[in-house]
């Protein structure tokens, strides 16, 4: 049986490592960049406890390796930029364990090492097509080190090629995008805060919000958001405007927020800018054996830190399902895709809708004080419990 995975990012590496262990399965994972190229992974990630739980249930050794490269994400505090605390949540009250705080490049390093020799790096895909012999199968062509390669009769093609998935565009068409009207800037800086910044925090000035946490080794991830109409205006990216955006007008700025504002204003050249958006979820192609995972399957607003988290959850669930069916002698890739879609579809709808709803406090005209107080109440907290605990693994008691 032949399986090809496109992309050795978060979901692709988890899949490659697990599927390679199956008897009689030939796994090829094709990655565009070289193994040590982390140029597209410049910032930090907070990965939710749900990903740790899902990976822990399916690949404890890999989970331990990531844990060793991360700090625990154990607490979530929301304040105003004058220091007033609005929300202070121990994650153990809503989850079965901590999440991870990690440099994105470190997560890639650990996952790519664990995926081993089955990943071919520096591959440029030149063709993705339905196989001539059987329209449910696919064919992929690529070049590597100037040489051309082609694999025919692929029983299962797994698209783990991220947000701008070429596989999804080619096989199932462009995914419609919805914008929230919020700009987001992200930065990774050396930790010169002298202990001011550690676990996950957010600081509001009106709807304008700072977010930060410390990651190993000795860095701080800083993100800022503010409402926009259409494109992000260039004048909003200047040091003076950024200072004004986050500095409280009627009270002194807190030490934490002051340090974060200095970082954003002092590092505009290194800042990564984006507009908050989501795109439609799709787990499988309608008429051939192509499975979408991670950002290739769905894009959600980053409010609850669920992008990489769901890529891990997707891959852990999909790998567990495939391994289980394969070991039971059930080798029909179309059925696997249907079952994985059935496992993930409602869960993903919940995660996307919850992430979108939780964005209320950063929209134009939002009142972050009232909005954050709602987040201390039972309806929000019980949804967080569902998010962090109910991972939906096949044959695993995921509420235990």
Ligand X SMILES: Cc1cc2nc3c(=O)[nH]c(=O)nc-3n(C[C@H](O)[C@H](O)[C@H](O)COP(=O)(O)OP(=O)(O)OC[C@H]3O[C@@H](n4cnc5c(N)ncnc54)[C@H](O)[C@@H]3O)c2cc1C
Give residue 56's Cα distance to chain centre: 17
Q: How many CB atoms are located within 10 Å of the residue 69 CB?
A: 17
Nearer to ligand X, 289 or 309 (CB): 309
Tell me the two tokens of residue 30: 């094709």
* Nearest distance from C-beta of residue 369 to ligand X, angstroms: 24
Query: Quick one: 12 or 49, whose CB is closer to ligand X?
Result: 12
DSSP state of 394: T
Residue closer to ligand X, measured from CB, 108 or 253:
108
Residue whose Cβ sits closest to ligand X: 9
Residue among 272 and 335 whose Cβ is closer to ligand X: 272
- Calpha distance 112→40 (Å, rounded): 15
Closest to ligand X by CB, 84 or 386: 386
How far apart are CB 301 and ligand X at their closest, in Å? Answer: 10
Contacting residues for 233 by C-beta, under 8 A, at least 6 apart: none
Secondary structure in 3-state letters for 216-236: CCCEEEEEEEEECCCCCCHHH
CB of 236 to ligand X, least distance (A): 18
Q: What is the DSSP letter of 250?
A: S
Shortest reach from residue 370's CB to ligand X, in Å: 26
Least Å from the CB of residue 90 to ligand X:
19
Tokens of residue 62, six digits: 């890999």
User: Residues with Cβ < 8 Å from 212, sequence gap 6 or more?
Assistant: 197, 201, 220, 221, 222, 223, 256, 260
What is the distance between the alpha carbons of residues 233 and 231, in angstroms, rounded to a whole number?
6
Closest approach of ligand X to the CB of residue 99, in Å: 9
* Binding footprint of ligand X on the chain (CB under 6 A): 6-12, 30-33, 43, 45-47, 123, 125, 160-162, 166, 186, 272, 294-296, 302, 305-309, 311
Residue 30 or 95 with smaller CB distance to ligand X: 30
């Amino acid at each position: 049986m032949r399986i090809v995975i496109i992309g050795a990012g978060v979901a692709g590496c988890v899949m490659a490592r697990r599927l390679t262990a199956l008897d009689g399965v030939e796994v090829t994972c094709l990655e565009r960049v070289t193994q040590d190229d982390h140029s597209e992974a410049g910032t930090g990630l907070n990965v939710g406890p749900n990903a740790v739980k899902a990976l822990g249930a399916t690949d404890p050794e890999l989970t331990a390796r990531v844990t060793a490269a991360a700090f625990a994400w154990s607490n979530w505090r929301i304040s105003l930029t004058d220091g007033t605390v609005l929300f202070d949540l121990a994650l153990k009250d809503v989850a079965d364990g901590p999440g991870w705080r990690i440099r994105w490049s470190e997560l890639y390093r650990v996952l790519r090492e664990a995926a081993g020799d089955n990943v071919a790096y520096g591959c440029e895909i030149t063709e993705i097509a339905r196989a001539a012999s059987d329209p449910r199968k696919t064919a992929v062509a690529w070049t590597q080190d100037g040489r051309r390669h082609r694999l025919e009769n692929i029983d299962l093609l797994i698209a783990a090629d991220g947000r701008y998935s070429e596989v999804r565009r080619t096989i199932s068409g462009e995914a419609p995008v919805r914008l929230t009207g919020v700009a987001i800037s992200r930065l990774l800086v050396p930790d010169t805060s002298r202990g001011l910044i550690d676990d996950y925090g957010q600081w509001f000035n009106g709807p304008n919000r700072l977010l930060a946490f410390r990651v190993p080794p000795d860095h701080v991830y800083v993100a800022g958001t503010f409402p926009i109409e259409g494109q992000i205006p260039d004048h909003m990216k200047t040091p003076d405007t950024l200072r004004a955006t986050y500095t409280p007008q009627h009270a002194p700025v807190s030490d934490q927020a002051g340090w974060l504002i200095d970082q954003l204003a002092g590092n505009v050249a290194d800042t990564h800018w984006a507009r908050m958006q989501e795109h439609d979820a799709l787990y499988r192609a309608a008429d051939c054996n192509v499975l979408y995972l991670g950002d290739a399957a769905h894009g959600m607003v980053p409010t609850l830190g669920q992008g990489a988290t769901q890529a891990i959850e997707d891959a852990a669930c999909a790998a567990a399902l495939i391994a289980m069916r394969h070991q039971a002698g059930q080798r029909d890739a179309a059925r696997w895709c249907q079952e994985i879609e059935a496992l993930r579809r409602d869960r993903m709808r919940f995660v996307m809708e919850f992430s979108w709803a939780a964005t209320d406090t950063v929209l134009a005209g939002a009142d972050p004080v009232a909005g954050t107080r709602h987040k201390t109440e039972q309806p929000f907290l019980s949804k967080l419990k569902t998010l962090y605990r109910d991972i939906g693994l096949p044959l695993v008691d995921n509420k235990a």
